[in-house]
Amino acid sequence: MSEMKILDKTKLVEFLEKLMPDFEVTVPSYNNGNLSFSSMAHARPEIDFAGRPLVPPKEYFFPQQEEMFTFATKEGKATIKAHINKDKRVIWGIRPCDLYGIKTLDSVFLSRYVDSYYHARRENTILMGLNCNEPCEAGFCSSMGTGPFATNSNAFDLLFTNLGNQFLVEIGSKAGEELIERRANLFATASDEEKNKSNEIEKQCKQAFLYSVDQDRVKAALTKAWDDPLWAEESKNCILCGGCNFICPTCYCFNIEDIADEHEQNSTRVRYWDSCQLGGYTQMAAENTRKTQAERLRQRIYDKFSYVPARHNGAIGCTGCGRCTEVCPSEINITHILGILGRQK
Using CB under 6 A, list all residues that contact ligand SF4. 238-244, 247-250, 277, 304, 318-324, 327-330, 332, 334
> With respect to ligand SF4, which residue has the nearer C-beta, 26 or 335?
335
Query: CB–CB of 44/26 below 8 Å?
Result: no
If DSSP codes are grouped into helix, strand and coil, which group holds residue 164? coil
Question: Closest separation between CB of residue 279 and ligand SF4, Å?
Answer: 10
Name the H helices within the chain.
12-19, 96-109, 116-123, 141-144, 174-181, 192-207, 215-222, 230-235, 243-246, 293-302, 308-311, 323-327, 334-343
> With respect to ligand SF4, which residue has the nearer C-beta, 186 or 241?
241
Query: CB–CB of 83/70 below 8 Å?
Result: yes
Pairing mode, if any, of strands 89-94 and 24-31? parallel
> With respect to ligand SF4, which residue has the nearer C-beta, 220 or 327?
327
Query: CB–CB of 304/120 below 8 Å?
Result: no
Cα–Cα distance between 295 and 232 in angstroms, integer?
A: 8
Cα–Cα distance between 88 and 162 in angstroms, integer?
A: 26
Question: Closest separation between CB of residue 149 and ligand SF4, Å?
Answer: 17
> With respect to ligand SF4, which residue has the nearer C-beta, 265 or 283?
283
> With respect to ligand SF4, which residue has the nearer C-beta, 176 or 320?
320
DSSP code of 114?
Answer: B
Question: Closest separation between CB of residue 184 and ligand SF4, Å?
Answer: 37
Question: Closest separation between CB of residue 170 and ligand SF4, Å?
Answer: 23
Give the max Cα distance, the chain: 73
> With respect to ligand SF4, which residue has the nearer C-beta, 68 or 238?
238
Question: Closest separation between CB of residue 123 and ligand SF4, Å?
Answer: 24
Question: Closest separation between CB of residue 283 and ligand SF4, Å?
Answer: 16
**SS3 breakdown of the chain: % helix, strand, coil, rounded to 5?**
35, 25, 40
